[in-house]
Every structure is written in structure tokens, then in C-alpha cells.
Amino acid sequence: MRLPLLTGWHFARPELAEHHLRAFDLGLISATALHARRRMGKTEFLTKDLTPAAEKKGYAVGYCNLWQEDQDPVDAIAEAIHACSAPRRALAKVRATLETPVSTLKVSGKVTGMAEGGAELGFKDAEKVRSAKLRAAFSAFDKSKNTGLLLIDEAQVLADKRHTALEKALRALLDTRKDRLKVMFTGSSEDRLRTMFGAEDKAFYNWARVEALPLLGDEFVRELTRRANTLTTLKLELEDTLRAFDALKRVPELFRRFLSQYLGNAFEGVDRAIETCKQSVYAQEGFAKRWDRMLPADRLVLQLVAAGAGDLHGSLTLTRMGQALKLGRSADRSVPQNALKRLRERQVLIQSDKGVYRFEDETFKDWVQSEHPGK
């Protein structure tokens, strides 16, 4: 069962927005990349905190989310750059338009500065078409004379080898506009985001400062508990809501789901609301189906990581893997190595230190521990 989400319960973080804008205003940096796991509030911070704060300072803001545009993110980026080009009086209309999924929009010559986009009809090569769209969007921005803030959510998509040409083109176009166009990247994959900005063979090598998004904590729980208690006669105790937040891996989106469940079924109690919330997320994310599609070696590695195994290439682990996979001998070191490579490429695991791995999604780890704890 999919639970209704609470709306209008944004926990504002004006100090964090001001911190990043001040760095841009002072010219200390022109780009920042923030990483945090899914559901931790990246998009909410960009759209509800950073955007209005930036607009008050005179920035024209463009936003795109590449999560569902991973096959061809050019249109999404071009639309966001066009938003940075819009006159201030038109920003509200542009923002409303951009709430429509980007895949349903068409970048055409009807948008200011897009006459150049008609040239795409003469190109048969897809990369040239993409390049033309980007150049047209940046041309529109140049003509606008705006100071822009470009927000690229789930930017780790650009690190995919399929988008190498786009990466290079975007880097070149942004390089010459650092004074007028600031960029905030975010990513739910710390691994891929650090690769994007930290690998010498990547176009954006050393181009943006990479840092963690400060996570919401107890103050977030206190405030939302206070708001929830104005809506129910069966008041929540702070001790119980803090316990729920911990049980839900301190994920803000899941805590809001918990509050929604509790407010709709308060007589069932806190523990029931926690469990219902967990099960709804497990079903919505399709963890069981993902597990069933995985190779046996990948599943085994996930069980080991979930259990806190320290050495995934040691003799004891290789012996255990050989037994579990029914090889009749210890597994070769290539078995965990290949599994780890696949799981990192699919954004299931992240390498947090040499030989140390953790789940990108703590909720998936919780599911593995619950449903497939291993032997």
C-alpha cells in the first residue's frame, strides 16, 4: 500500500542556502557538488530553500533533475539553462512549466534565443544535435545578461560513459561563463559523483568542490512532531518520534511517511506506523524483484556487507562464497571483485574506504538484513 505523503511540511534551512550563496557571491567558487543518499532532502533543499533565496539575491534560477532523463539528459539541461535566461517577470511562469516532466517538453525555436536550434534538422549525427541544443541554450543565456544559478539534480548520471561527449561540451560551455553562471550539482551516488569530479580522465575533473549535504537531525524531528501534535488528540511523545526516526534510518522522507501513517491511524500506535511505513517503502521500491534479478554472487556480497563483514577477499570469505555458490572449492578473488564492480556500477554499494563498502540506500540494507540475513 502506498501511503499519502504529508504536503506543506517543509523544514526550512535558510542558513544553509545563505552559506552556499555567499560563497558564490564572494567569487570563492563557481560550482559546488553536494552528495547525499536518496530521500535525504537534496531536491527539497534545491527547490524550496536555495531557489527562493537565490532569486531574492537577483539570480535567475534553472533546475533540472536527471534521475529520469539518464538516457538523454540534454533536453533537461537545456531547459534549465533557458530558465536561467528568462526575464525576472517570467520566472514564475517558467518554473511552473518546468514542473512538467522534461521528456514531454520540446526545445524549439519558439523559445527566446532558440532560432539556432532549427539547425538540428540538418544534422544526422545525434551528438551534433545535442551540441546544437546546448549552444542555443547558452546563446539565449548570453543575450539575457542575467546572473544565473544552474541546479543539476542527480548529476552523477553525467558520469556514465554514454554521456562523455555531453560532459565535455557542457564543461566547455560553462567554463567561459563562470562569472555569470554558478552551478550547484547534487547526486545520490557519492561514488559516481566523486568519480565525476575526481577522476583525471573525466571532463569535470577538479571543476567543483564536492561535499556532503548536511543531514537533517533531531531539530527536524522536534519541529515536525510539534506540527503533527496540532492535528491529533493522541499526542506523539518526542521520545517515540526520535525512536521512529532512528528506526527509519534517519531518512526525512520516510519520517514524513511515518507521521502520515500515524495521523491517519493514531489508535494503532507508533510501532505499527513504523512497520507499515517500512513495508510500504519495500514494496514501492521493488526490493524483492531487484533481489531476484541479481546474480547469486551479488546477493552473497550484499549479505556480507549488510552483516558488517570486514574482508570480502579473505580466505574465510572466499571459502564461504565457494560453499554458498556450490563450487566445490573456495571462490576465486575475481568472484567478489566482479560482484563489487557490478554493484557499484548499479549504485547499490559505495566504497567508503579501502576495502570498506556500504549500501547507497540504507533502506535496502534494512530489507536485506530482514529478509535475507544470510547464514
Beta bridge partners of 312: none
- The CATH architecture that domain 14-212 belongs to is 3-Layer(aba) Sandwich (3.40)
Residue 211 backbone phi and psi in degrees, to 5:
-150, 165
d(CA 200, CA 209): 15
pTM value? 0.79
Low-confidence ranges of the chain (pLDDT < 70): 1-8, 70, 88-127, 375
Q: How far apart are CA 235 and CA 245, in angstroms?
A: 17
Domain limits, the chain? 14-212, 218-285, 287-371
pLDDT of residue 110: 41
Cβ contacts of 112 within 8 Å, gap of 6 or more? 82, 85, 86, 140, 143, 144
Exposed, middle or buried by CB within 10 Å (0-12, 13-18, 19+), for 373?
exposed
Q: Are 197 and 206 in contact (CB under 8 A)?
A: yes
Q: CA-to-CA distance for 322 and 303, rounded, in angstroms?
A: 15
pLDDT digits (tens, 9 = 90+) for 124-142: 466 677 788 899 999 999 9
Helix segments in 199-295, DSSP class H: 218-229, 238-247, 252-264, 270-285, 287-293
Please give the Cα distance from 370 to 135 (Å, whole number).
50
Read off the DSSP letter of residue 199: -
What kind of fold does domain 287-371 have according to CATH?
Arc Repressor Mutant, subunit A (1.10.10)
| pLDDT tens-digit readout, 158-217 | 988 888 889 999 999 999 999 999 999 999 888 888 889 998 999 999 999 999 999 999
Q: How far apart are the first and last CA of the chain?
A: 31
Whole-angstrom distance, CA of residue 180 vs CA of residue 48: 22
Helix (H, G, I), strand (E, B) or coil at 27: coil
